[in-house]
């Protein structure tokens, strides 16, 4: 394949990837699955949803929860999109196997950031925080958005 052929094939591939990743025209009315921003002492990372009510259809995604190593007493800051903040959300605390819920905190209505938890507030040194969007009972059979993030407390 000559250089021009490779270039046009590359452009076509990039265009196809843009469609697959949800990039589209500014006028595109399709809803986009929001990500969760997480800051725990260092740089901000993002977490993808494992499930979400997208355009009225319940969707489950094959994604792995990020795992963050944190120092004791590190403030954990979770930030959701405006749409999730408007719907309402909570933070669920799970054990290291993401099987047993240890607690839950409701975030005040309309708030997009929650930073009222530290890495030492949870008894086991390895745990998950799961951000859960308040479900709309009339959409997606009550399926809500969920964004899990794992934490390993150093020295634990």
Name residue, tokens 């025209």.
25
Phi, psi (5° rounding) for residue 91? -120, 120
Q: Which of 85, 84, 100 is nearest to 51 (CA)?
A: 84
User: In Å, how far are 11, 15, 103 from 51, measured between CA atoms?
Assistant: 31, 26, 20
Q: Are strands 89-94 and 126-133 parallel, antiparallel or unpaired?
A: antiparallel
pTM: 0.80
pLDDT at 29: 54
Q: What is the pLDDT along the chain (156 residues), one digit of tens a residue?
A: 444 443 333 333 233 333 333 333 334 556 799 999 999 998 899 999 999 998 889 999 999 999 999 999 999 999 999 999 999 999 999 999 999 999 999 999 999 999 999 999 999 999 999 999 999 888 898 899 999 999 999 986
Burial of 47 (0-12, 13-18, 19+ CB in 10 A): buried
28 Rama sector, left if φ>0, alpha if ψ -120 to 50, beta otherwise: beta
Sheet containing 113-118: order of strands:
44-47, 36-39, 75-79, 113-118
Tally Cβ neighbours within 10 Å of residue 23.
12
User: How far is it, in rounded angstroms, from Cα 117 to Cα 97?
Assistant: 20
Distance of CA 121 to the CA centre of its chain: 21
Q: List the beta strands (DSSP E) in 48-100.
A: 51-54, 57-60, 67-70, 75-79, 89-94
């Amino acid at each position: 394949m000559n250089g021009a052929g490779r270039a046009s094939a590359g452009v076509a591939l990039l265009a196809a990837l843009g469609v697959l990743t949800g990039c589209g025209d500014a006028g595109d009315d399709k809803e986009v699955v929001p990500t969760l921003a997480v800051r725990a002492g260092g740089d901000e990372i993002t977490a993808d949803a494992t499930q979400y009510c997208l355009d009225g259809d319940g969707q489950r995604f094959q994604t792995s929860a990020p795992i963050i190593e944190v120092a004791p007493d590190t403030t954990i800051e979770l930030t959701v999109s405006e749409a999730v903040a408007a719907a309402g959300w909570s933070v669920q605390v799970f054990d290291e196997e993401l099987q047993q819920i240890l607690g839950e905190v409701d975030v005040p209505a309309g708030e997009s950031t929650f930073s009222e938890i530290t890495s030492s507030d949870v008894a086991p040194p390895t745990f998950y925080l799961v951000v859960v969007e308040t479900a709309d009972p009339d959409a997606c059979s009550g399926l809500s958005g969920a964004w899990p993030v794992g934490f390993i407390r150093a020295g634990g």
